[in-house]
Amino acid sequence: MAKDLYHFINGQRVTGISGRFKDVINPASGEIICQVPLASSNETVMAIEAAAKAFPAWRDTPPLRRARILFRFIDLLNQNLKELSELISAEHGKVIEDAKGSIIRGMEVAEFACGAPHLLKGHFSENVGTRVDSHSIRQPLGVCAGITPFNFPAMVPMWMFPLSIICGNTFILKPSEKAPSTALRLAELMKEAGLPDGVFNVVNGDSEAVNTLLSHPEIAAISFVGSTPVAEHIYKTATANGKRAQALGGAKNHMVIMPDADLDQAVSALMGAAYGAAGERCMAISVVVPVGEQTADALVNKLAPKVRQLKVGPATSPTAEMGPLISTDHVEKVRNYVTIGVHEGATLVVDGRELTNGENGKGSYLGGCLFDHVTTKMRIYQEEIFGPVLVIVRVDDFATALKMINEHEYGNGAAIFTRDGDTARAFSSEVQAGMVGINVPIPVPMAYHSFGGWKRSLFGDLHMHGTEGILFYTKLKTITSRWPTGVRTGNDFHMPTMM
């Protein structure tokens, strides 16, 4: 077993002293890679105090100088892309190319953040009243924190800390204890890029660390990505403690296939969208909605053979298209959902519980599963499974498909495949989801737009990255000024007006 991990506080590796550790397991082999320390409340407070101490000097650092550090950080990410991809694959299990792609998507947010000298500009109005001018500025909040999931150990943290830091805040990252190594490496690369000590800290831990972040008065804002029950708890607890919060939760993303769609294109898109990263994506397509029986039959005929032929294996296998799930416990949870679907009366077209391809060994593997004739009353339709399980819900017309999506409790993403512009426009206008794809299966916005869902997929008013990310990590101040030209006498008790 490799050496135990650590925390990264005030620019230094800090050995865990709580006496509590968690095994980090390679899901491809089932082997213990290392142990990660679980921070006590006192250790978490150490990071908060380091961030609070670093804040005044960092707040006063010009945005252009902050951006230059991020430019160097991006260069270091490119130099270390292979190492970071391998770290992610070892702890999460996703294939190398998928891991590399997720890092690049995170880098795009850091690249966007480098525009802070422009993004942080305020507005100025001259002569709003006689000899009175007004201008607005955006200022940092203070110490911010991010709590991130196991499935994107680099990308999701980089949705948070580059923007927070470029805005002048200091930051504490609490990564998933299931895949912690990448976050520590990112912190070291930020230090190498020239970031002052204490501006970016990483605390590994579980609920004790999280609860400390949620309750400590020095934390000004919390960002979270994870399941809906936890997201709701994070949001309610953080806001009850006077903090700004954005908490992204679960999803059940639908893809509508119209009769006029390019079916080969749709099937190819579905394979990656449903089974990429073993379905462990909040933007994975988990429900496909073919319109019309003919469309549905043709879809199943084309899709089922591809799901059966899906190559499952470790990231080290050059032929692997899908890696393992994060843990054997999660495999069992997903397998149970498949069993539930069968008992509910859905047709299990492809049963991935028994692998016919790939190297299952001792890892946490599961093959691709495909259900047909699923109804909206079934749990496999209603609940987020977070695994390689795709369900087909057949409908007669577009209106039924749209109504079904809009009635679901989640509203993260939705997609439609069609050649008809009127249908596409109606879908994008009327669907109740935060991110919409037209002939695009996973409509994750580019970094200069913002990421976030609707309904129970997002708690909070502001989405992540893009312009809304800048708004989240700053507060607005408006200054109104008058420079009198003469001596004023007497008192003025009138309500101020700009006359």
The whole-number pLDDT of residue 75 equals 98
pLDDT of residue 421: 97
| Residues 215, 318 within the same domain | no
44-66 burial: b if 16+ Cβ within 10 Å, else e: bbbbbbbbbebbeebeeeebeeb
Confidence of residue 358 (pLDDT cuts 50, 70, 90): very low
Are residues 282 and 183 part of one domain? no
Whether the per-residue pLDDT at 223 is higher than 70: the answer is: yes
- Tell me how far CA of residue 413 lies from CA of 277, 348, 351, in angstroms: 17, 25, 26
Please classify residue 172 by burial: count the beta carbons closer than 10 Å to its beta carbon, then call 0-12 exposed, 13-18 middle and 19+ buried.
buried
What CATH number has the domain bearing residue 213?
Answer: 3.40.605.10
Q: Is residue 488 part of a domain?
A: no
Q: What is the mean pLDDT of residues 58-72?
A: 97
Q: Do 419 and 367 belong together in one domain?
A: yes
Residue 204 sits in the same domain as residue 271: no
Which amino acid belongs to residue 348? L
Looking at the chain, the whole-number percentage of residues with pLDDT higher than 90 is 92
C-alpha radius of gyration, the chain, whole number: 25
Structural domain contains residue 492: no
pLDDT higher than 80, residue 181? yes
Mean pLDDT confidence for 75-99:
96
Overall domain count for the chain: 2
Note whether 350 and 274 are same-domain residues: yes
Structure token digits, residue 385: 């499974």
What pLDDT does residue 48 have? 98
Look at residue 487 and tell me if it is in a domain: no
**Per DSSP, what are the bridge partners of residue 459?**
247
Domain around 383: 253-438
Report the alpha-carbon distance of residue 215 to residue 223 in Å, rounded: 14
Domain endpoint, select from 407, 438, 469: 438
Cα(120)–Cα(307) distance, integer angstroms: 47
Confidence (pLDDT) at 162: 98
Enter the tokens of residue 418: 């069609």
Mean pLDDT over 326-348 rounds to 97
Q: Is residue 449 part of a domain?
A: no
Q: Examine the pLDDT at 499 and tell me if it is beyond 90.
A: no
pLDDT per residue over 3-59, tens digit each? 689 999 999 999 999 999 999 999 999 999 999 999 999 999 999 999 999 999 999
Average pLDDT in the 417-431 region? 98
Write down the pTM of the prediction. Answer: 0.94
Residue, of 24 and 2, whose pLDDT is higher = 24
* pLDDT score, position 483: 87
**Domain of 404: which CATH number?**
3.40.309.10
In this predicted structure, the answer to whether residue 130 has a pLDDT above a threshold of 80 is yes
Give dist(CA 171, CA 157) in Å, integer: 11
Q: Are 60 and 125 found together in one domain?
A: yes
Q: Which of 333, 440, 320, 450 is nearest to 383 (CA)?
A: 333
Asked if 54 and 195 touch (Cβ cutoff 8 Å), the reply is no
pLDDT value at 229 more than 80: yes
Average pLDDT over residues 437-453: 95
Q: Verify that 170 and 240 share a domain, yes or no.
A: yes
pLDDT of amino acid 485? 77
Q: What is the 3-state secondary structure (H, E, C) of the chain?
A: CCCCCCEEECCEEECCCCCCEEEEECCCCCCEEEEEECCCHHHHHHHHHHHHHHHHHHHCCCHHHHHHHHHHHHHHHHHCHHHHHHHHHHHHCCCHHHHHHHHHHHHHHHHHHCCHHHHCCCCEEEEEECCEEEEEEEEECCEEEEECCCCCCCHHHHHHHHHHHHCCCEEEEECCCCCCHHHHHHHHHHHHCCCCCCCEEECCCCHHHHHHHHHCCCEEEEEEECCHHHHHHHHHHHHHCCCEEEEECCCCEEEEECCCCCHHHHHHHHHHHHHHHHHCCCCCEEEEEEECHHHHHHHHHHHHHHHHCCCECCCCCCCCCECCCCCHHHHHHHHHHHHHHHHHCCEEEECCCCCCCCCCCCCCCCCCEEEECCCCCCHHHHCCCCCCEEEECCECCHHHHHHHHHHCCEECEEEEECCCHHHHHHHHHHCCCCEEEECCCCCCCCCCCCECCEECCEECCCCECHHHHHHHCEEEEEEEEECCCCCCCCCCCCCCCCC
Mean pLDDT of the chain: 95
Given the residues 34, 144, 282, 369, select the one marked as catalytic. 282
How far is 408 from 184, CA to CA, in rounded Å?
38
Predicted local confidence at residue 315, as pLDDT: 87
Does residue 448 fall inside a structural domain?
no
Angle (deg, nearest 10), helices 41-59 and 207-215: 50
The pLDDT of residue 143 is above 50:
yes
Residue 382 has pLDDT above 80, yes or no: yes
2 found inside a domain: no
Match 């004790």 to its residue by tokens: 208
Q: pLDDT grade, residue 484 (50/70/90)? A: confident
Backbone dihedral angles phi then psi of residue 193, each to the nearest 5 degrees: -75, -10
Q: How far apart are CA 225 and CA 237, in angstroms?
A: 15
Beta bridge partners of 174: 147
Residue 495 lies in a domain: no
Whether residue 385 is predicted with pLDDT greater than 60 in this model: the reply is: yes
Question: Is the same domain home to 432 and 461?
Answer: no
CA distance 435 to 282: 12
Over residues 267-322, the pLDDT tens digits come to 999 999 999 999 999 999 999 999 999 999 999 999 999 999 999 999 888 899 99
pLDDT tens string 195-215: 999 999 999 999 999 999 999
Based on the fold, state whether residues 258 and 188 are members of the same structural domain: no
Residue 352 shares a structural domain with residue 229: no
Instruction: Say what the pLDDT of residue 4 is.
Output: 87
264, 241: one domain: no
Is 282 an active-site residue? yes
Q: Could you report how far apart the first and last alpha carbons of the chain are, in Å? A: 75
The residues near 478 (Cβ < 8 Å, ≥ 6 apart) are 134, 135, 136
Residue 1 lies in a domain: no
User: Is residue 267 located within the same domain as residue 409?
Assistant: yes
